[in-house]
Amino acid sequence: MRKPGPDTDVVLSSRIRIARNLRSFPFPLMATPEQAEGALEQLLGVAESGRLSGLGEMPAYRLSEMTELEKLVLVEKHLISPALAGQSRSGALILGPDENISIMINEEDHLRIQCLYPGFQIREAWEFASKIDDIFEEGVDYAFDEKYGYLTSCPTNVGTGIRASVMMHLPALALTGQINRILTAVTQVGLAVRGLYGEGSEATGNLFQVSNQLTLGLSESEIIDNLYSVARQIIAHEKAARERLLAESRPRVEDRILRSYGILKYANIIDSKEASQRLSDVRLGLHLGLLTDVSQETLNELLVSTQPGFLQQHHGEALSAEQRDMTRARTIRSRLANEA
């Protein structure tokens, strides 16, 4: 997210996740420790064979050797799922050099390949993820059925095994009262809308993850094209709503943004929910041209560095809720002061 990307004023990131399983082992949730270890060894064997060397250095980390705090930070950075963080039985992570590639082993499925790109680059992310999938498919025998496609632990992933998603910042649609109508329309065309951390998470800070819901009966290109088309429409609606806010409610919108900016610059205590909302307001102000004292890179950084796990890792010890709120406020004040 430190790198520029298309439409980053609305789309923070694009993600492709591919779920695969090995034919010769039960799904991870049903596997014995010995079977899970066997699947791990096969998949790490592909990584260690040099087949991934063209992608840069990609070290592997066993979850059993990580602290709970280290795993929480990886979840907050979207590099592993909460499900993988919650279990360490033969779980592992293969991480790309720029953290744009994360490969989870023995999560819900034996293999989950994830590619993250900045901005609206869902097609580019798919092309890259597909190359990694091909490399693993050359080295192991995937569980595949001629009728149903790739077999997965959860039936909702059967078929292509692909989850394509874009993380969108939609404050103007929320402020103009259009967000519920837009998101309802999105779900009616086979897409799902979730919060920052996926299924079951709350959409805080006006951040919404829009992804495909169907993986069976559609080709990979149809899934990607459908998401691309709908996301492009949402981007257009959000940008139109921003123009409307400036034209019809500029004094009120400017006041809201400057108030949030002032609170972030001077607050001594701030919880994660308020911080997310205030950062959303400031991000909107930046893209409306109402604020120039902060950069998008800084806002992206604060989105991660103010999360509970990251704060505690940076501080070097566990913190109480109040200590986290004080540390979060101090982190934001310091970062914004450096922008001035």
Let me know if residue 3 belongs to a domain: no
Let me know if residue 112 belongs to a domain: no
Which H or E run includes 19? strand 11-20
Both tokens of 277, joined, read: 């909302």
- For residue 46, how many C-alpha atoms fall within 13 Å in the half-sphere facing its CB? 21
Let me know if residue 320 belongs to a domain: yes
Let me know if residue 36 belongs to a domain: no
Both tokens of 251, joined, read: 């004094």
Let me know if residue 295 belongs to a domain: yes
pLDDT tens by residue, 208-265: 999 998 888 889 999 999 999 999 999 999 999 999 999 999 999 999 999 999 999 9
Residues of the binding site for ATP:
13-17, 78, 112, 163-167, 194-199
Residues 147-165 have a mean pLDDT of: 94
Which residues span the domain enclosing 327? 247-339
Alpha carbon distance 59, 221 (integer Å) = 31
For residues 22 and 47, the model is more confident at: 22
Both tokens of 255, joined, read: 């006041």
Query: What is the value of pTM for the model shown?
Result: 0.89
pLDDT at 198 exceeding the cut of 80: no
Q: So what's the pLDDT on residue 41? A: 94
Q: So what's the pLDDT on residue 315? A: 81
The proportion of the chain whose per-residue pLDDT surpasses 90, expressed as a percent, equals 71
Let me know if residue 227 belongs to a domain: no
Both tokens of 34, joined, read: 């010995």
337 CB-near residues (< 8 Å, 6+ apart): 265
Let me know if residue 307 belongs to a domain: yes
Interior/surface letters 122-137, b for 16+ CB within 10 angstroms, e for the rest: bbbbbebbbebbebbe
Chain-centroid distance of CA 5 in Å reads: 15
Q: So what's the pLDDT on residue 200? A: 45
Pick from 2-6, 125-129, 147-151: least confident = 2-6
39 CB-near residues (< 8 Å, 6+ apart): 22, 25, 28, 31, 90, 105, 106, 110
- For residue 269, how many C-alpha atoms fall within 13 Å in the half-sphere facing its CB? 4
Total count of domains within the chain: 1
Residues of the binding site:
13-17, 78, 112, 163-167, 194-199
Alpha carbon distance 292, 290 (integer Å) = 7
Let me know if residue 64 belongs to a domain: no
Alpha carbon distance 109, 107 (integer Å) = 5
